[in-house]
Structure 1
Amino acid sequence: MTTMSCATCKKWGRVEKGNAGWRDGLGRCTNVPNFYDVTDQVAEFDPEDGVAGDLVLKPGSKSLKAFGLDGSGYQAFLITAPDFGCVSFDPKD
């Protein structure tokens, strides 16, 4: 039986040499998109909205379960250890 971990999931790959986490054997989950890439801004204004509070998921993104978010919106992703696992596991072929 396959261990349901990132190392055996098709949505995960080790980060390339020189990138954050490569020395520790960490990898990036491609199933976790940048929040800003899968959202749209709502038209109505709410004075209680904070940073990114006026964003809603695009229709095709509502089934996603996790998102990367940083303050700049430039780049965000999930980095995990090979033995981490999640409910979105999809075994490599």
Structure 2
Amino acid sequence: MNASAALSGIARPRDKPVKGWTMQKPIWAMIALLFASGCASVAVNESALCAGLEQPATDHAAALAEDGGPRSVMTGARLIRMLDAGCGLPE
């Protein structure tokens, strides 16, 4: 680095490009970390889950009391899907 570049804080570019994985290693490491963090388990707030399922459970109970037929099948399927999603169970 020459004196004027050192004083101005600007480094002179290298004459030759750096060979190898100098910059690629951190990039690949970051990509791997992003994939790994996307697969990490997420904590479920149980009180929020219960509050969110309160109305569907009430609707299902009312449908069962009313007809025990097609309406209760639809509300039951919705309730089960929501429970499965909240508990991390496969569909």
TM-score normalised by the chain length of structure 1: 0.21
TM-score normalised by the chain length of structure 2: 0.21
- Structure with greater Cα Rg: 2
Pick 1 or 2: higher relative contact order, CA cutoff 8 A, min separation 6: 1
Q: Larger % of helix: which?
A: 2
Q: Larger % of strand: which?
A: 1
